[in-house]
Amino acid sequence: MHESSLKRQHTIFQQLNQTATYPYSLGEYCRRLAWEWVQRLMIRPSPRRAGYWRAFWLRRFGAHIETPGGIRPTAKILFPWLLAMGRYSLIGDGVTVYNLGPVRIGHHTVVSQDAYLCAGTHDYTAANMPLVRKPITIGSGVWICAAAFIGPGVTIGDNSVVGARAVVVQDVPAGVVVAGNPARIIKKRPMAVRVGVASGTTPAGT
C-alpha cells in the first residue's frame, strides 16, 4: 500500500515528449527568422529618436503602427504582424512584446521600460501542454509602469494605470490604478482636466 502511494505521488502528468515540435506554420517561421535579423541589424543600432525608421520596418512586417508614436530601439517585438498601436503611443526601452497572440494598444498609451506583454501560454490542464495564443488589448490613455507583467487574454480599460512591477492576470476596468501581485484596484485614477493643454503631443524620442 505504501509503495503504491509513492508511485502515485511520483506520476508525472505533463508529457513534454508529446508537445508539438513545430507549433507554428512554415511561413511564420520564415517571417520570424527574417524579422529577427532586421531587428538585430536595423532596429537595435538605430538612434534613439529614429522612431519613424523603426515604424517603417515594423510596417514592412505587417504591424499596424499609427503616427506619430514611438518604439524604443531596445524594445523586443516577437511577431510584428500581430501588433497594432495607435497615435501618440510609446513602447519604452527593454519592453518585451511577446505577442504569440495579437497585441493591440490604443492612443496616447505608454508602456514603460522593461514591461512584459505576454500574449501566449500553454494549457497546463492537458498533458501535452498545447500552445495557447490569447490576445492582449490595452486601451487609450493607459500607463503601464516599469517592469509590469500583462498576462495572456487581459484587457486594460482606457485611462487606467498599472503600477510598477504589477502582475496583471485579469481584466482591468477603465479609469483605475492597479498594483501588486496579483494586481488589484487600489483607487480610481484622478483625472483633472487642464484647460489649454493640447491632447496631442508627440512622445519624446519618436
Instruction: Return the pLDDT at 176.
Output: 96
Instruction: Return the pLDDT at 28.
Output: 86
Give the contacts of 100 (CB within 8 A, at least 6 positions apart).
Answer: 78, 79, 82, 119, 120, 131, 133
Using alpha carbons, select from 169, 62, 72 the residue that is nearest to residue 117.
169
CA angle, 168 then 169 then 174, to 5°:
60
Measured over the CA atoms of residue 50, residue 52, residue 57 and residue 58, the dihedral's sign is positive
Domains, the chain, ordered by start: 24-187 (2.160.10.10)
Calpha distance 35→83 (Å, rounded): 13
| Bridge partners of residue 110, in order along the sequence | 90, 143
- Pick the catalytic residue from 2, 64, 107, 122: 122
CA angle, 126 then 132 then 136, to 5°:
145
- Per-run averaged pLDDT (10 residues), the chain, 206 residues: 58 85 83 93 92 93 92 95 96 96 97 97 88 94 97 97 97 97 95 59 44
Instruction: Return the pLDDT at 204.
Output: 43
Catalytic, 107? Answer: no
Measured over the CA atoms of residue 158, residue 160, residue 165 and residue 166, the dihedral's sign is negative
